[in-house]
Amino acid sequence: MRVTVDIDTCIGCGLCPETCPEVFEMDDEDKARVKVDKVPPDVEDACREAVEECPVEAILIEPD
Ligand code: F3S
């Protein structure tokens, strides 16, 4: 599983790194950044939760 963040849509709420810090971090401009190429299997559930919780639906799940 891979995810991407649409930085034009992200409002920098900070929820995704809070929910799944293994995959997301905030960059210098307060936008979420995906820090892994592939989502590790053991954090896929947390990552899906982050996708669902994003208030502006800026995180997209991509097929492998
Ligand atoms: Fe941005 Fe959504 Fe994360 S607004 S910081 S991508 S939860």
Give the tens place of pLDDT for each residue, 10-62. Answer: 999 999 999 999 999 999 999 999 999 999 999 999 999 999 999 999 999 99
Its pTM stands at 0.95
List the residue whose alpha carbon is closest to atom 3 of ligand 1.
Answer: 16
Span from the CA of 33 to the centroid of ligand 1 (angstroms)? 9
DSSP 7-61: TTT-----HHHHH-TTTEEE-TTS-EEE--SS--GGGHHHHHHHHHH-TT--EEE
CB 63 within 8 A of CB 39: no
pLDDT value at residue 63: 77
Across 26-60, b (16+ Cβ under 10 Å) vs e yields beeeebbbbeeeebeeebbebbbebbeebeeebbe
pLDDT value at residue 39: 97
pLDDT value at residue 4: 98
Confidence tier at 64 by pLDDT (50, 70, 90): confident
Which residues line the pocket of ligand 1, CB cutoff 6 A?
Answer: 5, 10-16, 32, 54-56, 58-59
